[in-house]
């Protein structure tokens, strides 16, 4: 193996896969390992990861609380763009990866490491996201992706390797674990693999972790007021909150009302289709409310331009191009559009649904004097519409006349 590798920064969760990777890197590359564990709101105790890393002689262990940075610098900018992948997916896993890549590179520089390593498989999107992010920030970084190198390509082989090297294995993992894999952060929880690989299989109700079923949600609707400044929520029901606090609160509210479940077959960047189930309660509320806020504050053509660009932006996020020049350029345009997206939106939460019931803004472009169905006292001359319609119908009339002549 590459004798030049002296130190590797490993994205480390403390689970079976990355614990095996830690030992495999030590054995295969005979190098020092630095572990990095990110707290991005996955809701798991991170102390065991530190203990496991210490057990295998890791001296530099980084466990970073990145929740505020995650929401402020990654989730909020994405929601200012109203990004949705393939019409449904709110990109909960996708948007976490560039932050992890960024911190991996920060730590690599800090510790003077030669390489970084991750536990993403060679079939998935995450390997692309981690590595595109890393190369964008450190062009010459060496990336070690064990799943593309080793022969431990089954659960049985991973468990055998763990047993041989004294790596603790959770009893549930040894017995087969959950019938699917999970990935969680402050924006969502994803479920895929295992029994979910059959698109016809309906997941059991017990799978869902942060949302109740709509059938079991409260029978009384709840109205929530969100305050926006420059496209970002800064307060809920009049109480000012930090970005991470906003998302935490909306997750709690949405989860209570059965909001944000999604069962999707999506197209991975590497070429295959994949079935995933997602819970994104807070994000579902955010998307609905943000579009409501924009509906009264953005010019028609600005809003149309944003909608035209959104699928492109969403694909960039999904495919791992967060640090690309095109995403950064799009973000500048999007953020410029948000200067007037200020005000308050009220949404009604009820049994899996989010309905906008009120929106107000000091920057509102809605003019009641013109929009009214009552007497507008000359604010809008309805006779002007006749010429407008005839001009816009001109090409249609020309084509119709041509078809008429052709039939003669």
DSSP conformation class of 114: S
Q: What are residue 116's DSSP bridge partners?
A: 9, 143
Are residues 142 and 115 in contact, defined by beta-carbon separation less than 8 angstroms?
yes
pTM, entire model: 0.95
* Average pLDDT value for residue range 266-275: 96
Instruction: Give the strands of the sheet with 189-192, arranged side by side.
Output: 181-184, 189-192, 273-279, 261-267
Residue 114 among the catalytic residues: no
Are residues 210 and 252 in contact, defined by beta-carbon separation less than 8 angstroms?
no
Task: List, in order of start, the domains of the chain with CATH numbers.
Answer: 7-66+93-177 (3.40.50.620), 184-360 (3.90.1260.10)
Are residues 17 and 154 in contact, defined by beta-carbon separation less than 8 angstroms?
no
Angle between helices 325-337 and 300-319 (to 10 degrees): 150
- The 10s digit of each residue's pLDDT in 280-310 is 999 999 999 999 999 999 999 999 999 999 9
- The 10s digit of each residue's pLDDT in 25-46 is 999 999 999 999 999 999 988 9
- b/e map 54-76, b = 16+ CB within 10 Å: eeeebebbbbbebbebbbeebbb
Q: What is the pLDDT of residue 375?
A: 84
Structure-block tokens of residue 310 = 């959104």
DSSP string, 188-211: -EEEESGGGGSTTPPPPGGG-SS-
pLDDT band at 377 (very low <50, low <70, confident <90, very high): confident
d(Cα 73, Cα 323) in Å, to the nearest integer?
A: 12
- Nearest of 17, 292, 303, 344 to residue 154 by alpha carbon: 17
Residue 126 among the catalytic residues: yes
Q: What are residue 89's DSSP bridge partners?
A: 85
Marked catalytic residue, from 17, 67, 103, 190: 17
- The 10s digit of each residue's pLDDT in 183-239 is 999 999 999 999 999 999 999 999 999 999 999 999 999 999 999 999 999 999 999
Backbone angles phi, psi at 97, to 5 degrees: -65, -45
Q: What is the pLDDT of residue 182?
A: 93
Are residues 374 and 306 in contact, defined by beta-carbon separation less than 8 angstroms?
no
Q: Which value, in Å, is the radius of gyration of the alpha carbons in the chain?
A: 26
d(Cα 408, Cα 405) in Å, to the nearest integer?
A: 5
pLDDT band at 177 (very low <50, low <70, confident <90, very high): low
* Average pLDDT value for residue range 377-393: 92
d(Cα 238, Cα 53) in Å, to the nearest integer?
A: 44
Residue 181 among the catalytic residues: yes
Residue 94 pLDDT greater than 70, yes or no? yes
Residue 17 among the catalytic residues: yes
d(Cα 350, Cα 141) in Å, to the nearest integer?
A: 49
- Mean pLDDT score of the chain: 95
- The 10s digit of each residue's pLDDT in 353-363 is 999 999 999 99
Q: What is the pLDDT of residue 3?
A: 57
The secondary structure element, H or E, covering residue 144 is strand 142-144
Marked catalytic residue, from 67, 94, 103, 126: 126
Q: What is the pLDDT of residue 172?
A: 56
């Amino acid at each position: 193996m590459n004798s030049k590798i002296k130190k590797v920064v490993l994205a480390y969760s403390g689970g079976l896969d990355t614990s095996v990777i830690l030992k495999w890197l030590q054995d295969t590359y005979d190098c020092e390992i630095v572990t990095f564990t990110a707290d991005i709101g996955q809701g798991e105790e991170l102390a065991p990861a530190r203990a496991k890393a210490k057990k295998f002689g890791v001296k530099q262990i980084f466990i970073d609380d990145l929740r505020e940075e995650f929401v402020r610098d990654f989730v909020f900018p994405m929601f200012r763009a109203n990004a949705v992948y393939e019409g449904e997916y709110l990109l909960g896993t996708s948007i976490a990866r560039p932050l992890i890549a960024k911190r991996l590179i920060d730590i690599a520089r800090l510790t003077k490491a030669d390489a970084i390593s991750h536990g993403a498989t060679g079939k998935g999107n995450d390997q692309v996201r981690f590595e595109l992010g890393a190369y964008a920030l450190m062009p010459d970084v060496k990336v070690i992706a064990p799943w593309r190198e080793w022969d431990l390509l089954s659960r049985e082989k991973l468990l055998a390797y763990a047993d041989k090297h004294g790596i603790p294995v959770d009893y549930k993992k040894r017995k087969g674990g959950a019938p699917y894999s999970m990935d969680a952060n402050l924006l969502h929880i994803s479920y895929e693999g295992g029994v979910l690989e059959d698109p016809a299989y309906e997941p059991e109700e017990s799978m869902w972790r942060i949302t109740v079923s709509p059938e079991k949600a409260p029978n009384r609707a709840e109205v929530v007021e969100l305050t926006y400044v420059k496209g970002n929520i800064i307060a809920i029901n009049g109480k000012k909150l930090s970005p991470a606090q906003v998302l935490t609160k909306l997750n709690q509210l949405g989860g209570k009302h059965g909001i944000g479940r999604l069962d999707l077959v999506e197209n991975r960047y590497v070429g295959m289709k994949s079935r995933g189930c997602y819970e994104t309660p807070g994000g579902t509320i955010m998307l609905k409310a943000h579009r409501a806020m924009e509906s009264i504050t953005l010019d028609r053509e600005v809003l149309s331009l944003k909608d035209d660009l959104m699928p492109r932006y969403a694909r960039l996020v999904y495919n791992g191009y967060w640090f690309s020049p095109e995403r950064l350029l799009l973000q500048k345009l999007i953020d410029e559009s948000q200067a007037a997206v200020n005000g308050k939106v009220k949404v009604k939460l009820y049994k899996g649904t989010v309905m906008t019931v009120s929106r107000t803004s000091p920057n509102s472009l809605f003019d009641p004097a013109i929009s009214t169905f009552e007497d507008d006292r000359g604010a809008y001359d309805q006779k002007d519409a006749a010429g407008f319609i005839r001009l816009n119908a001109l090409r249609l009339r020309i084509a119709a006349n041509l078809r008429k002549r052709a039939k003669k």
